Structure 1
Amino acid sequence: MTTTPAVRRASPRSRRKATPPDPAKPLLPATEPVRLLDPTGTPLPAPADYPEPPVEALVEMYRRMVVGRRFDVQATALTKQGRLAVYPSSRGQEACQVGAVLALREDDWVFPTYRESMALVSRGIDPVEVLTLLRGDWHCGYDPAARRTAPQCTPLATQCVHAAGLAYGEAYQGRDTVALAFIGDGATSEGDFHEGVNFAAVFKAPVVYFVQNNKYAISVPLSRQTAAPSLAYKGVGYGVPSEQVDGNDPVAVLAVLTRAVQHARSGKGPFLIEAHTYRMEPHTNADDATRYRDGAEVEAWRDRDPVARLETYLRARGALDDAGVAAVAEEAEAYAADLRTRMNAQPTVDPMSLFEHVYAEPTPQLVEQRELVRAELAAAQDEEGER
């Protein structure tokens, strides 16, 4: 007698198909911005992916943030005195400006926007050279190749493409250089942003795209820029891992940037970060911010001051005391005084230089304008000689 083997019924659990891994999961940012300090400066549990930076690095970050803020205030004053044509303040964004510089090596490259003056002086570039462009000169003031820092970029997002190209070129030549491109929230709507991120992703260029979301593109609020839950999600569509961070939490900013730079340097390609921060001052001295935001909003962000937040934390750790705070403040005042003295010296300019480097071959109109100015200068010189 033949026995038919019993058919084993599959349990409902075994009949279910295994859920395939979500390919987007490693790319997705945290659902809430990474934060290691609360607004009062009290430490929060650190996520496993973002260990707290060494306290020595945080003390240096505090020093640079205080000096950077004093520089920013002085530059704003110089604009009001007519010494600068324009100045875009980054007050309130000190953690982002300084944290980005501290996360890089000296041989890495920075691609700044017009708002990164504080980051550039934090990198050690002479503040007078940094402000030369904003004074109205036709060059950027510093040597980009020597400082590994591209000229400050006024057209929105064009530096995203430049950063991708340079980083790819460095990697192609076997160097582990990282390029960091600063970008504002409004510039993520520009085509160059998307082209740069896509190129970097396809060719695994070692770039960190650092979006400082300060809530306004001049007067246009974030809600008119994107319907995405976070600008950090814009990296997912290009296969770029992304993160969002509390941009007014200096500890978290440095931790997230450090990991992003390590990711890029190790050959894994680009990384996109969105820092949630706030521009305390108007867009530039030519802007009236009261027309599009109210005082209550500004005051709410003033309570999240990144400088005060880090100072409170370092004091609690015993890494900073009254003497240390006073010493940094004194250094910042000396820095501002030196800048003020050197910027108050009237620069020697040649009006005829207005016509240099405009066209390879001057147009008839340009030649006519040049000769008119030449004649005016000659007449003024003759009049001065007759006195």
Structure 2
Amino acid sequence: MTVLDAPTAPPTAAPTGPPLPADTALALYRAMVTGRAFDRQATAFTRQGRLAVYPSSRGQEACQTASVLALRPTDWLFPTYRESVALLTRGIDPVEVLTLFRGDRHCGYDPHAHRTAPQCTPLATQCLHAAGLADAARMRGHDTVALAYIGDGATSEGDFHEAVNYAAVRRAPVVFLIQNNQYAISVPLAKQTAARTLADKAAGYGAAGERIDGNDAAAVHTAVARAAHRARTGGGPTVLEALTYRIEAHTNADDDTRYRSAEEVAAWAGKDPVARLEHRLLTDGVLDEDTITGITRDAQELTARLRRTFASPPRRDPAEMFQHVYHQPPPHLRAQAALLAAETATTAAAGEDA
């Protein structure tokens, strides 16, 4: 087989997924429009110096919204750093979604309350966490499913291999959703693997594997719902490869013009998942112009609230760095915390005297 350096060709612009109930389709459209507006605002924050870094998910909204809406609220998400739109769709406050990129905390939301693990920067380590939680739920007799997001580049990591292998052996209820956006930062997929598809890798572990059009929201929703049902009913894990594309650079610190052409980006932009779903719903009579206007207005109001909230950076207590790390802090950390408390008290007293 000849391995080409060029990324996978864009999928057809025509909808390929089965029809969805009208309320589900509208919920998907609303989530995607809201996510696109949020992503645009977050990107603007980086240009204004109000975020340290931001990995845009523009072009991947179908993967992120449809996967969340296909699960139950009691299921768990294990996101990477690029799943901001998924977190927003999960119902997490927009400010809390951006806390990691603002540098305030490692995680801005309560993982247990939202059944959403902290966004993971190391590649593929969240896959192990997903497999472990799902297997623990299985052993306890719960019907919880864990969904682990992963990029195409992270499938080259050993943690991905270990997680899928473990989940398959244990029949753990996990869905591994690979968002194949064609590049691991600057390295195209063909330079990472000679496999025909990433979904083919599932067979080597004894797991189910499926390749889907990641820019078709209906197709993603249906595939994730089917994989979650299989996992929930004892069928074991599924590896879903969703073909999509990262329209923006890897992060605001990346120069994507060094490794891909404007023509390639434009070709994939023509398969925009938001526009595709909008066209489909208009054609099916599920969506009308008034509804589009209302959803767009709601998305704009969300970003306006986000801008107002970001106007004043939060003030953090430095003692927080010692909290939520160890159940029983070791002696050296207790000593450091005491030293910080003493210095803080001295500084405060000096300020009062002045």
**Same-fold call, TM > 0.5?**
yes
SS at 2:219's partner residue? helix
Q: Aligned pairs, how many?
A: 344
Instruction: Identify the match of residue 257 of structure 2 among 290, 293, 303.
Output: 290
**Cα gap change, 1:248/1:381 in structure 2, threshold over 3 Å: closer, same or farther?**
farther
SS at 1:259's partner residue? helix
- Further displaced range: 140-149 or 76-85: 76-85
| Residue 330 of structure 1 pairs with residue 297 of structure 2 | yes
Cα offset, 1:353, TM superposition: 5.1
Rounded Cα–Cα distance in structure 2 between residues aligned with 1:293 and 1:58: 33
Q: Which 4+ runs in 1 deviate beyond 3 A?
A: 350-363, 377-386
Rounded Cα–Cα distance in structure 2 between residues aligned with 1:195 and 1:174: 24
Aligned partners of 1:163 and 1:179 also within 8 Å = yes
Instruction: Identify the match of residue 303 of structure 1 among 255, 270, 290.
Output: 270
Cα offset, 1:350, TM superposition: 3.6
In the other structure, the counterpart of 1:273 is: 240
Aligned partners of 2:15 and 2:216 also within 8 Å = no
Paired residues for 1:73-112 under 5 Å? 73-112=40-79
| Residue 202 of structure 1 pairs with residue 169 of structure 2 | yes
Which amino acid in 2 is paired with 1:345? S
Rounded Cα–Cα distance in structure 2 between residues aligned with 1:344 and 1:360: 38
Deviations 1:31-65 (A, max 9, x none): x99x8xx40xx445x6xxxx432232111101100
| Residue 144 of structure 1 pairs with residue 115 of structure 2 | no
Q: Unmatched 5+ residue regions in structure 1?
A: 1-31
Q: Unmatched 5+ residue regions in structure 2?
A: 1-7
Aligned partners of 1:83 and 1:344 also within 8 Å = no
SS at 2:121's partner residue? coil
Rounded Cα–Cα distance in structure 2 between residues aligned with 1:164 and 1:212: 18
Aligned partners of 1:52 and 1:255 also within 8 Å = no
Aligned partners of 2:15 and 2:276 also within 8 Å = no
Aligned partners of 1:185 and 1:217 also within 8 Å = yes
- Further displaced range: 135-144 or 275-284: 135-144
Rounded Cα–Cα distance in structure 2 between residues aligned with 1:165 and 1:59: 34
| Residue 242 of structure 1 pairs with residue 212 of structure 2 | no
**Cα gap change, 1:352/1:145 in structure 2, threshold over 3 Å: closer, same or farther?**
closer
Deviations 1:111-130 (A, max 9, x none): 10010011001010111111
User: How many percent identity over aligned positions?
Assistant: 57
SS at 2:234's partner residue? helix
| Residue 67 of structure 1 pairs with residue 34 of structure 2 | yes
In the other structure, the counterpart of 2:88 is: 121
- Further displaced range: 261-270 or 204-213: 261-270
TM-score, normalised via structure 1 length: 0.82
Structure showing greater Rg = 1
TM-score, normalised via structure 2 length: 0.89
Paired residues for 1:7-26 under 5 Å? none
Rounded Cα–Cα distance in structure 2 between residues aligned with 1:299 and 1:116: 23
Deviations 1:256-304 (A, max 9, x none): 1121111111111001100010001111111111111111111111100
Rounded Cα–Cα distance in structure 1 between residues aligned with 2:275 and 2:139: 43
Rounded Cα–Cα distance in structure 2 between residues aligned with 1:260 and 1:99: 13
Rounded Cα–Cα distance in structure 2 between residues aligned with 1:331 and 1:84: 24
Paired residues for 1:254-265 under 5 Å? 254-265=221-232
In the other structure, the counterpart of 1:180 is: 147
In the other structure, the counterpart of 1:13 is: none
Rounded Cα–Cα distance in structure 2 between residues aligned with 1:379 and 1:69: 45
Cα offset, 1:176, TM superposition: 0.9
